[in-house]
Chains A and B, each alone.
Chain A
Amino acid sequence: MMRFMLLFSRQGRLRLQKWFTAISEREKKKIIREMTTMVLARPPRTCNFLRWKDLKIVYKRYASLYFCLGVEDEENELLALEIIHRYVELLDKYFGNVCELDIIFNFEKAYFILDEFLMGGEIQETSKQIVNRAIESSDMLQEPAPL
C-alpha cells in the first residue's frame, strides 16, 4: 500500500500532502523535508525510484511539479508511476489543461479528486469516467457560495 503522496514545486514548496497512515505532525514535517531534499537533488536523467528507510519512493516530474509517492516494499514501482500518471490525467480532465497554478488556487478540489481515486493507501476506482462523474456530482451538491 501507499504511505503518502506529496506534491511540491521545484523550489520545494509543498502543494499537496496526503498521508495514508496515522503519524505525528513532527514526523510529517520531517518526511516532507527529507523528500523534498532527496528528490530535488536527483540529477535529471536518473531513474525514478529511490530507496528510503524501508520504503520505496517513486517520483515523477510534470512541468514544474514533482509528484512523490512513498510506497511499501511489495509494491510494483512501475505501477506506482502509472498511479501518478492517472492522477495527473484526472486533474487534467477536471481543470482542463491543468497547471501548477490550478492546484495552488484550488487545492481543496485537488484533494477531493485524490480522495475519489485513492483511499486507505490503495486505488479505489480504476475507471477514469466513474471518478470524473463522482466529482462532478459532488460538485453539484455544493451549495452556492454566499456573496
Chain B
Amino acid sequence: MSPSVPLQEMIRAIRSARTQCEERGVIQRECAAIRAQFRNTDNEGRSHNLAKLLYVHMLGYPAHFGQMECVRMIASPRYSDKRVGYLGAMMLLDEKQDASLLITNSIKNDLSHSNQYVQSLALCTLACMGSAEMCRDLAPEIDRLLRSSNSYIKKKVTAHPSVLIVVSSVLTCVLHGAVVLITQLCERSPETLERFRKTVPDLVQIMKGLVISGYSPDHDVAGVSDPFLQVRILRLLRILGRHNEAASDAMNDLLAQVATNTDSTKTVGNAVLYETVLTVLDIKSESGLRVLAVNILGRFLLNNDRNIRYIAMTSLQKIVVTDHIAVQRHRGTIVDCLKDQDASVKRRALELSLALVSASNIRSTMKELLIFLSSCPPELRAHAASGIFNAAERYAPSQRWHIDTILHVLTTAGADVRDETVPNLIQLITNTSELHCYTVHKLYRALLTDISQQPLVQVACWCIGEYGDLLLKGECQETEAVQVTEDDVLDALEIVLQSHMSTPTTRGFALTATMKLSTRIIDNVDRIRSVVSIYGSCIDVELQQRAVEYNALFKKYDHMRAAVLERMPVIQKNSVGQTNGEVGEETVKESQAAKVAQKEMALPPLLPHQVSPSDSHSAPDKLLLLHAAFESIYAPLASAPAVTVYEKNGVTLTISCEQQSDSGLTVTLTASNSSDSDISGFTLQAAVPKSVQLQMRAPSRDSLPANGAAKLTQLVILNNPNKVGLHNAR
C-alpha cells in the first residue's frame, strides 16, 4: 500500500506524465491508494483523498467508488470534510443514484445547522442534484430558512429552484433572487402572473433607482449599476407586460428612459439595451417606443463588435414580419453585412435581406445578392440561389432582367440550384418571345465559356435547338452581333454530347437540340444525320432510343420531320406573380393541357396509317407515332377536353384525359366509324416515355361497325410517378 500523496503532488505527477499510458498508470496507482484509504475509516486526511478522486473524475476516469465516501464525508462534523463531501456529491451523484437518497438526512440536518455556511453548502447541493422528492421532503426546512432573518441564507434560498414548491411571499431584501423567483413563478402559472401584475409600479421604481442612482462600486460594472439585476427586472417586466395594455402603459416611460440613458460603449450597457429592446418589442408598447427600439437595433448593426451585430440581426429577424417598414430603413446596413467575415452573421444577413426584398429595392438588393452568391460559403449557396429565384419571380421589373438574373445565378452557382429551375427557366424563355434572339445569343456565349454547370448547359442546348435559326441570323437588337456559322453551333453541341462532364440528361438535351437544328439550318443536315446515327448504338439506353427514333424520322418519315420539329408554342401562364416552386409547376402543368390541345390540332398528320385492319405495319412505327402524341400528355394535367386526333377514311379517333391523382392520368380513347363498311380487327397501340408507366385496359370491342352504329372505347392509365416536368427536349 503506497503512502498517500497530497493532492498537489498527485496533480503534478499526472501532468508530468508524458504519454496517455503513463498517465493511466499513475492514476491507477493513485486510485488503488485512495480505495485503500477509504476502507480505513478513521483517517484524518479523508478530504484530500476525496479531492484527489474528484480530480481524477474530472479527467474522465471512473470514480463511482467514491460515492459512499461522499456520503460519509457529508455526515462528518468537520467543515472541510463537509465542503469536499458536498462537492463530491454534486459531481458524482445524481438523481438516479441510490446513494443520493442517503444524503437526504444529512442535508436535512445541515439545513438546520447553526453555521450559515454549512446551511449554504446543503442548499447548494440540493439545488444541484436534488430530485423533486428530496426537495419536497425538505420543503419545511427550506420554508423556515426563507423566513429567517439572515439575508445571506434568504438570498440562497430564493435562488434555489426547489423553492418554487414552497414560496408564498415576496421578499424585498434579496432582490435579485426574488426577481428570478417571481419570473419563474410567472412563467409557470398564469394565476401568479395575474397576481404579480400589480407589482409593476414597484419594479418600475426599483429600475428607475438603478438607472439614475449614483455610483455604487460594488454592484457596478463599467459604469452600469448592477446590470444583472437590471436585466432580470426587464425580463420580468416583459413577462408581466405581454398581452396586457395596462401593465405595458405603466412601463413605457421607464423603458424609454433606460433606452436613452444607458451607456452603450461597453458590452454591459449593450446587454441592458438589448434586453430593453426585447421587452419593448414583446409588450404592447406604443409605436414611438417601438421605433426607438428598432433604431437601437439599427445602431447595433453599425457596431464594430461582431457579437452585437449578430444579436441585432437575430432580433431583427424576429420582427421583420411585424415591423416590416421599420426594419426596411436599415436595409442598407443589413445588405452590407453580407460581406462580413463571420459565417453566422452572413447567414442572418442573407435571410434578412431576402425577407426585405420588395418591388422598390429589387434591383439594388439583387446586385448585392449576386455578388454575395459568388463569394458565399458553400453551405449557404443553395439557400441563397432559391431565395434569389423567389425574389426575382415576385418582383422582376422586366423580363429581360429576370432572364439575366437567372442566367447569372446559373453561371455562378449552377450546381446548387433545384431541379425545377431548368423547366421553369425554359418556360420563362418560351414566354418572352421578343427576347428569344437575345437569350439564345447569351446562352450560346455562356455555353462556349463553360460546360460544367449542368442546368445552364441544359437550358442552353434547349434554346439553341429551338431558336438556332435566330442565332445563325447573326443580328440582334439587344446585344452585339456575332457571326455564328452552322458548324460552330454544331461543334458546340457536339462538345456537350461528348464531354465526360455532361450528365445523361444533358446529353439527351444536346442530342434533341442537334436534331431540331436539322430543320433550322440549311447546309449541314448530313452532319446531323451522321451524329444521330452514331448515337444509335450508344450504351446509354435513353440516348440510343432517341437516336434510333430520330434516325427513323430521317429515313421513313422525312416528310413529317419539319412538322414534328416545329417551334414549340407559347405556354399560357395561368397566374402571374406567384412564387416559384410548387405553384410554378402547377401553372406549367395546367397550361400543358392547353398546349396539348393546340399541338394535337396543329399536327393531325401525326397519326396516319395507324388504324388499318389488315395493316402489317411493324410495331415500331406505331410506337413512334403515338409516342409523339402521348409524350406530352403525361400526368398532372387538368382534365382536357376531348381532342380529335385522327380523322381519315371515316374513322375518327378522339382522346380525352382525366387527372386521377397527383401522378396518375386516365386517357380515354374513343373510336368511331362513319364509313359504310365495317372495320374489324381494330387495335390501338401506344408508347410512352420511359419515365411514364402505361397500362392499357381491354377495349370495349374490337370491331367498328359502319355508320357510327357503335363506338369503341379503350382506357389507358398513365402513371408519372417522378412527375417529370415539361420535357421539351423533343
Contact = CB atoms under 8 A, between A and B. Distances in A.
B7, B51, B117, B274 pick with most chain A CB within 10 angstroms: B117
A120 B161 contact: yes
A79 B226 CA distance: 11
A130 B228 CA distance: 15
B45 A112 contact: no
Contacts of B58: 14-17, 107
B342 A146 contact: no
A13 B20 CA distance: 13
Contacts, number: 150
Contacts of A47: 306-307, 309-310, 342, 344-345
B197 interface: no
B159 A124 contact: yes
Given A79-B227, A125-B176, A146 B44 contact: yes
A104 B15 CA distance: 10
A105 B117 contact: no
Contacts of A77: 307, 311
B124 A115 contact: yes
A19 B128 contact: yes
Interface residues of B, number: 69
Nearest to A79: B271
Interface in B281-314: 306-311
29 contacts: A13-B59, A14-B58, A15-B58, A19-B128, A22-B94, A25-B94, A45-B306, A45-B342, A46-B344, A47-B307, A49-B307, A78-B268, A78-B307, A79-B271, A81-B267, A81-B271, A82-B221, A104-B15, A105-B11, A119-B124, A120-B128, A126-B226, A127-B218, A134-B120, A138-B117, A141-B79, A141-B115, A142-B80, A143-B80
Nearest to B92: A25
6 A-B pairs closest in CB distance: A78-B271, A120-B161, A120-B127, A146-B44, A47-B306, A141-B79
Contacts of A112: 83, 87
Interface string B11-25: 100010000000000
Given A105-B8, A142-B80, 11 more contacts: A14-B59, A29-B60, A45-B341, A50-B344, A107-B58, A108-B51, A120-B128, A126-B226, A128-B218, A138-B117, A146-B44
A76 B83 contact: no
Contacts of B156: 119, 124
Interface residues of A, number: 54
A100 B661 CA distance: 68
Interface string B29-65: 0000000000000001100100100110011100000
Interface in A66-87: 74, 76-79, 81-83, 86
A126 B275 contact: no
Given A108-B54, A112-B87, A143-B78, A78 B8 contact: no
A111 B219 CA distance: 22
A82 B227 contact: yes
Contacts of B688: none
